[in-house]
Chains A and B, each alone.
Chain A
Amino acid sequence: MNAPVKPDAFRVGTGPVPDPNPPIIRFEQVGKTYAGRGAQGPVAALSGIDLDVPQGAIVGVIGRSGAGKSTLIRLVNGLERATSGRLLIDGEDVTGLTEAGWRARRRATGMIFQHFNLLSSRTVFDNVALPLEIAGTPKPQIEQRIARLLDLVGLADKRERYPAELSGGQKQRVGIARALASEPKVLLCDEATSALDPETTKSILALLKQVNRDLGITILLITHEIPVIKEICDRVAVIEGGRIVEEGETFSVLTDPQHPTTARFVEAVTGVEVPAYLAGQIHTQAREGDQAVLRITFTGENSTAPVISRLSSTIGIDVNILAGRIDAIAGRPFGSLLVSVPSQQPKLAAVLGALNSLELKAEVIGHVS
């Protein structure tokens, strides 16, 4: 991951500082407008996109269908062209590139797809060979490189099989091997795990992580699944209506979402819903003998502290756990817990005070009898 560029205190003069580690992909106010047909005017698919993809990072773009994420990822290999703004890849402005120029660039960019897009008429080996055939790589070299790639994705024994004989996960592994065949610097993943079951998704994400770590390939992925972001992305951008509404390090965006869209995405994974049997009974005003329902959010170091037992022993109350989830986001622990404690004061205030002192976020959702 990239360290943020620090202001250079010892700098003299006013010329621009060369960025010591420039992003491999940089969107500058990029927009994409489709010329409308007939009565339907022009449609803006993307507007004012600013996004940096640091070299060697895994960056995820999450959004619902129609948010513009497909268009965004296709700008990077010229399958779609920006209609405004600037797009820099590897320091080069590619905004005005011709189709022939793009073709050369595409040979240095891998892409994998939701529905794998493997040729049914070719064996696994020949599918992986396709980009090399297109680039005119000599046969012996193709043979050598593909053997290595099939080893990497764990499909060495399937080289003469046809895609129809493979499972979804195996097909995506072929897709990954094919995307890596031209030894790209950047791998674009278009909903690469959306057609796979959770178990297979995990193994494909692990493979992508391995590709990123061992081969140093930068990954830009788009998805509508927050688990994908949570699992492997260093940074995340949330896209809504063709605009990026939130962007940052995965852990901070997911644990402290600022935009309602982000919050909705995050809820499904990190938040804990009030169980249905309780939801109907919750009221806002505490009555005699009620229990207060609290949502405690754990982030960072205190997420592993024995909070509940500490509350019981220091304040002398019973803490009742209603629901909870402890998870890892971008490799750091994060959890949220729904508990009930006595509503009567001053015990409730003492509980909240104790949680605050541990720097845990706690909110009172309501009271139940």
Chain B
Amino acid sequence: MFPEIISPQILALIGQATLDTLQMVAVAAGLGTVLGLPLGVFLATSKRGELFAAQLVNTLLGTLVNATRSTPFIILVVAIIPFTRLIAGTSIGTNAAIVPLTVAATPFIARLIEGAIREVDQGLVEAARSMGATPLQIVRKVLVPEALPAIALGLTLAIVSLIGFSAMVGAVGGGGLGDLGIRYGYQRFMPEVMAAVVAVLIVLVQTVQTIGDHLARRLNKRLRHA
């Protein structure tokens, strides 16, 4: 059906845009996880009386995370352009878009991981302490492995959100599916391109969600596998 109304050239554009989107999302999600995991673990373990009790640092980081998360993404993108230039050398294109995406993803992922870690039964922490585990061993051997199913679901949610965000960076010249939809679908009045972009996005989100759900179920040993 598509080939009849969409020219091969447009099809190639859609293919390239999909790859761009995947690249942006993958890199931003990867970096966001690398940065967000320790941040989330720290947020979950540094309140008064916890493993790495540092109430002041916890409050400071928590406020920073909230500030980033409460800034609308499109404003964040524009606001940190100087920072983006510093890192990527430019503020236009797929590579540049990865910077604001990562900045937005990190606190989001950190909060998701904090939530997942806080769900781990405190009795397990006590058991590990009773074996003489150091705080770091407790994180590595107890908290993260036990929170893994919830972390997998959280990361799925983060990736789905990032797919949406990545379309938004298209509005400021970020490349990818959003950019294509805006330039061709909207500015050149090609509704079939817009429809194709939306269709691809739906497939992407659906696929990510399915894989994420499956992974979380596989990781969750609390369910009986009959």
Contact = CB atoms under 8 A, between A and B. Distances in A.
B134 interface: yes
B221 A120 contact: yes
Nearest to A109: B130
A106 B130 contact: yes
A104 interface: yes
Given A134-B131, A182-B131, A115 B123 contact: yes
5 contacts: A79-B130, A117-B121, A119-B124, A119-B146, A121-B146
Nearest to B221: A162
Interface residues of B, number: 24
A103 interface: yes
A121 B127 CA distance: 15
A133 B140 CA distance: 12
Contacts of A119: 124, 142, 145-146
Contact of B130 (A111, A162, A163, A164): A111
What 3 A-B pairs come out closest when comparing CB atoms?
A106-B132, A117-B127, A107-B132
B128 interface: yes
B224 interface: yes
Contacts of B59: none
A165 B225 CA distance: 8
Interface of A: 77, 79, 102-107, 109, 111, 113, 115, 117, 119-122, 130-131, 133-135, 162-165, 178, 182, 188
B222 A164 contact: yes
B128 A134 contact: yes
Given A117-B124, A119-B124, A120-B221, A134 B146 contact: no
Contacts of B223: 164
Given A115-B123, A162-B221, A121 B132 contact: no
A133 B121 CA distance: 21
Contacts of A77: 130
Contacts of B126: 79, 113, 117
Given A120-B221, A121-B145, A164-B223, A135 B127 contact: no
Contacts of A115: 121, 123
